[in-house]
Structure formats: C-alpha cells, structure tokens
Amino acid sequence: MLALGACTTTRNRPAVELERVAWLHGAATCAGNADPAIQVIRYNDRTWILRQNKCLNYEAPFLFLLVGEQKALLLDTGATPDSSTFPLYRTVRHLLQGWEAAHGRKLELVVAHTHNHGDHRAADEQFRGRPNVHLVGLEAPDVQHFFGLEAWPVQSAIFELGRRPLEIIPIPGHQAASIAVYDAATRLLFTGDTVYPGRLYVQDWPAFRASIQRLVTFAAHHKVAYVVGNHIEMSRTPGVDYPTGTTFQPDEHPLPLHVADLQRLNRHLHALGDQPTRQVDDAFIIDPK
C-alpha cells in the first residue's frame, strides 16, 4: 500500500535531489491503477515527504514528517479519511517505529496542519485517540494557542522537536489558519497551499499580500534551500497548469520552488495592488476567490 524510497544518508544531508524526484503522477485510466496509496520519499535521516495517489484523490496532496529527539511533527493528513484505502496512520507509525528502534526511545507525534481545508485534514480521525499522539486543532485560535503565537499573524514562534527547532510563521490569506514552517536543519520552508507550483487560491487578498511579504522578509534573513508547498498543478511548460480534477500529470512541474519564485510572487502582488486580480506566472497562478 506504500512505496518507500530507500536511500543511504547522514544526519541533515539530503538523500535525494528534491527537484529530480520522480513523483507518482496518476494514470490516464485510474481503473486498475496499481500505484501505492502513498508514495514515501526519505529526504534525510529525519525527514520524509509523502504524496497521496492521484487516482485516490486528484488533489494528490503532499504531507511531511519531521523527526526530532523527543517529538515528531506530521504536517497534514491528506484528502481521504478511509484507513483501508489510505493507510496514513499505519504508514507514519511504520516510519516512526523504525526510527524509535534505531534510537532506543519513543517519540510523541504531533499532527498539525498547514491550513484548515478538507484535502489536508481528511485522515485526522486515523490519529485521534492514538497513544503518544497530539492532534492540533484546526481553527486559527487552536493553532495560536498550541504554538504560542500570541501576536497572530505578525509573530512567529519556535516549536522544538528536540534538537530540531522549527519556526512557525502565520500566513493567513489562502485560509485563515494557514501557517508556514521553517526547518533550519534542512533549510526547507514549508508553505502549504500559500506558495506552490499551482493555482494560488486567495481567500483574503490583503492578508495574502501581507503574508507573502512576511515570507519574503523571513527568507531574506534565513537560509532557504527550497520553498515546498503541498501540491503540484503546473506542468513543465511555463504558465500552463493541469485542469482541476486531473488524475494524470505526466509532465508536472517539480515540487520545490525557490526564494526567487517567492520574491517574484511578491512583486506581482505589489504591482496588482489592492485589486484582487488573476495573474499567470511561469511557476504559479494567482487566483483570487
């Protein structure tokens, strides 16, 4: 039910070149599709990237598992609740058990969300009530309280996994409870559905513009290897996306974006000003709702 990308690696050193990962990208005919429900790529010793099968749900969201010395963080739970077709808890538990066996200690698993949309929280119930699992609430006040974000949305906060601090950055605009997560160990900046190679749906235009400026300012003062979102909707042809509902993306854009893409997004938003306007870029599409 899952595909493991096995690699030899050392602590914090990437085991894969993220721009070259061959993600499972669906099938022209999903009937009889034999791809696993979850593709698992080990980015390094303490970081896994999971992708949901597009034939299981066309959104094919990415999920992220980050492990520290005392805690692990799972960012998002995907688009399908059913554990028989989408065995997310079992997959995550398998990965953590391997780490726990190698290091001789148990980890608390924190399950949080990049934002409160259905394709990022559908499998929450697979984790509810499980031992050593804390499921963070979905609304902005829940996120504020858990991570200690007292001055939402202008204040960030450090969430410690145990010798692996993560910086939690509020970025409302796509959705009211949206956050980004910066991992200094890998220099990955996880941005949910706020920035990714696809259609950037904007719910709150002023908040979105302020959040992108906040990310650009953050990236100017931190080393960011990649900006990593939760979907791929763009093709490799600049400015061309796959239509909503597509279950087959044979020529999709790489998952990671760069700080230069983030800066370009910011420039687009500044140029558009206060009027919500659709804008097509080579690597993304600004799409006000």
Question: Which pLDDT tens digit goes with each residue over 37-47?
Answer: 999 999 999 99
* For residue 3, pLDDT beyond 70: no
For residue 153, whether the previous peptide bond is cis, meaning omega lies within 30 degrees of 0, is yes
* For residue 22, pLDDT beyond 90: yes
* For residue 55, pLDDT beyond 50: yes
Half-sphere exposure of 153 (CA within 13 A, CB side): 22
* For residue 268, pLDDT beyond 80: yes
Average pLDDT over residues 232-246: 98
CA end-to-end distance (rounded Å), the chain: 36
| Strand residues in 98-192 grouped as ranges (E) | 108-112, 133-135, 157-160, 165-170, 179-183, 188-192
| pLDDT tens, position by position, 201-223 | 999 999 999 999 999 999 999 99
Average pLDDT over residues 247-275: 98
Q: Rg for the chain (alpha carbons), in Å?
A: 18
Q: How far apart are CA 152 and CA 155, in angstroms?
A: 6
Average pLDDT over residues 141-163: 97
* For residue 273, pLDDT beyond 90: yes
